[in-house]
Structure 1
Amino acid sequence: MVAFAGASRALRCAVGIQRAVRDHCVKHPEQEFAVHVGLHAGETIRERDDFLGRTVILASRITAAASADEVLVSSLLKELTDGTGEFSFGPVREVSLKGISQPQRVFPVEWEETVAAW
C-alpha cells in the first residue's frame, strides 16, 4: 500500500508503475509479470507507519477487482482527476466488493494512452 497527498499524484504513480512493468517485460520476457492497481481517495486513520479505515479498505477491494495490467479507480478518484486532462478513463463498471454493501462504480485507466507520467 502507498498513500499520497493528492489523487493526481497517486494516479501518476500508478500509470508510471504500469509503464515501467511493461517496459521491463519487453526487455526481459523471461521475467514477465503483471501488476494490478486499485485507487480510491478519502480520509484515513494514521497509526505510526500504517493507514487504516474505510478508504483503505475500499482501495484494497478495488485493487482485488482489477485485472492484471489494469489500473482501476473509484468514481471519486475519477471525479477528482477528470478535469486535469492528464488521464483517460474507460467505461464505468459496477462491481460488488467484499465487505462493501453496495455495488461500486469503478473506471479503468487507459494508461497506455494517458498523458501523465510518473
Structure 2
Amino acid sequence: MGGGSSTLNDYDPYAHAEMLGIRVIHRRLTTGTGLWVPDHRVIFVQDRLRRVHDRSTLAHEIGHAALGHRDDRPKHEVQADRFAAERMIDRERLVDLMQWSPDPSRWATEMDVSTKLIRVYWNLHRLDLSA
C-alpha cells in the first residue's frame, strides 16, 4: 500500500469500513477508544479523538471485523494492531523518516498514525535504522 513520498498513506479506514458494509458511529465510550459489534456490523469510535487516534482506532477495529473476531481476547488485540499497522504505514516512507529523524513520535506525526502503531510495525518487521 503506498504513499511512497506522500505524507499520508493512501489507506482510508472510513472508505474501507464503507466497502465492508460497516457503520461507523462516534459516541462517548466508557472504556477504550473503539468497539467492534459484529452482530450489528457497527464500529463505535470514541467521540472527539484527535484525527490520528480516530483513524488508528478505526483501522484497528476494522482489523477485528476483517479477521472475524467476535471477542477481545489479547491474541485478537495483537492481530488487530498488526492489521492496522500494515495498512496505515508505508514501509518506504517509514524507512525514509527513520533516516531523517531518530524519534518514533516524529515518524508517527509525519505518517498520521499513532505511536502505538509505529511500535507494532517496528516490532513486526524489525526495521534496521542503518538501512
Q: TM-score, normalised by structure 2?
A: 0.27
TM-score by length of 1: 0.29
Between 1 and 2, higher relative CO (CA 8 Å, sep ≥ 6) is seen in: 1
